[in-house]
């Protein structure tokens, strides 16, 4: 019997209602499932509860896929129910699963095992940042976290700037929220004055802040409060 792995988006921000980002078609699929591969069981249960999940949550099965459960043996064990014909859903802590998210590992294994994978519609902070940036959405790259130590960090910033300017490819990256300000300060010192920089913070939240300016303009602007807030930076 064939089964399907559904990739289930959830809200990016805690102050976003589940109904605002969950299409009716998604909810019908969610209600049909009782096996979930999740980044965090507590947040996944909270999401299901807020979604109005039709089944008893305590009767559903949750297995965690995160930085602590990434061994091939553990991931292989997670898809055994699918091989036996049981559909499953993957839920990240925020946004879409499997993009800059440990869920990618189980998706990869499902493809190798000829298990159908279906992505559901939902909010992606990466795509939403590109949409709102005014920078190239035709060609863009997500680079994850930059190196922490120097000189690698500074060299990476210059390399991404060179690619953005030379290839007209928007370069996206993130930082641990508590290091946001330090990274921004370094970029304003390192980047060329006419390079464009987008700061996209708290996407979909009531405190959302998205703005694109040249580095020269940012240097004259009162810096937004982005410390300890989820932020995507884009060089273009």
Q: What are 84's two structure tokens?
A: 């036996």
**Number of Cβ within a 10 Å radius of residue 67:** 7
Whether pLDDT at 189 is above 80: yes
Answer for the pair 13, 125: CB distance below 8 angstroms, yes or no. no
**pTM score above 0.75:** yes
Q: Please tell me the predicted confidence (pLDDT) of residue 68.
A: 84
pLDDT in tens, 73-82: 999 999 999 9
The mean pLDDT of 219-231, rounded to a whole number, is 95
- Under CATH, to which class is 4-119 assigned? alpha beta
> What are the residues facing 234 on neighbouring strands?
172, 198
Phi-psi region of 57 (alpha: psi -120 to 50; beta: other; left: phi over 0): alpha
pLDDT in tens, 22-42: 899 999 999 999 999 999 999
Per cent of the chain over pLDDT 70 is 100
Q: Is 20 helix (H, G, I), strand (E, B) or coil?
A: helix
Whether pLDDT at 187 is above 80: yes
In whole angstroms, what is the distance from residue 214 CA to residue 210 CA?
Answer: 14
Phi, psi of 235 (to 5 degrees): -100, 130
Q: Please tell me the predicted confidence (pLDDT) of residue 70.
A: 80
**β-strand 35-38 against 88-91: which pairing, if any?**
parallel
The mean pLDDT of 185-191, rounded to a whole number, is 97
Per cent of the chain over pLDDT 90 is 92
Superfamily covering domain 125-235:
Tetrapyrrole methylase, C-terminal domain (3.30.950.10)
Return the closest-CA partner of residue 122 out of 90, 89, 96, 98.
Answer: 96
CATH 3.30.950.10 placement within the chain = 125-235
Q: Is 148 helix (H, G, I), strand (E, B) or coil?
A: coil
In whole angstroms, what is the distance from residue 59 CA to residue 44 CA?
Answer: 14
Residue 135 burial (CB < 10 Å; 0-12/13-18/19+)? buried
Q: Please tell me the predicted confidence (pLDDT) of residue 98.
A: 94
CATH 3.40.1010.10 placement within the chain = 4-119
Whether pLDDT at 118 is above 70: yes
Q: Please tell me the predicted confidence (pLDDT) of residue 1.
A: 63
Q: At how many degrees (to 10) do helices 41-51 and 24-32 cross?
A: 120
Distances (CA, A) of 188 to 16, 129, 145, 146, 179: 32, 20, 18, 15, 15
Whether pLDDT at 45 is above 70: yes
């Amino acid at each position: 019997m064939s089964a399907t792995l559904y990739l289930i988006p959830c809200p990016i921000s805690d102050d976003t209602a589940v109904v605002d980002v969950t299409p009716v078609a998604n909810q019908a699929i969610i209600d049909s499932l009782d096996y979930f591969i999740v980044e965090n069981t507590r947040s996944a249960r909270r999401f299901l509860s807020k979604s109005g999940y039709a089944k008893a949550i305590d009767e559903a099965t949750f297995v965690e896929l995160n930085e602590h459960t990434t061994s091939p043996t553990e991931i292989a064990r997670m898809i055994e129910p699918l091989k036996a014909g049981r559909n499953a859903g993957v839920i990240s802590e925020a946004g879409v699963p499997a993009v800059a998210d440990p869920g990618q590992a189980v998706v990869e294994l499902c493809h190798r095992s000829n298990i159908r994978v279906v992505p559901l519609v939902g909010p992606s902070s990466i795509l939403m940042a590109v949409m709102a940036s005014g920078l190239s959405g035709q060609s863009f790259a997500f680079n994850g976290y930059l190196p922490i130590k120097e000189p690698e960090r500074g060299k990476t910033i210059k390399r991404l700037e060179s690619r953005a300017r030379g290839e007209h490819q928007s370069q996206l990256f993130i930082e641990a929220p508590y290091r946001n300000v330090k990274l921004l300060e370094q970029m304003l010192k390192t980047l060329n004055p006419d390079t464009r920089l987008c700061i996209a913070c708290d996407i979909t939240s009531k405190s959302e802040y998205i703005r694109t300016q040249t580095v020269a303009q940012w240097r004259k602007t009162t810096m937004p409060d982005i410390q300890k807030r989820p932020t995507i930076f884009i060089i273009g």
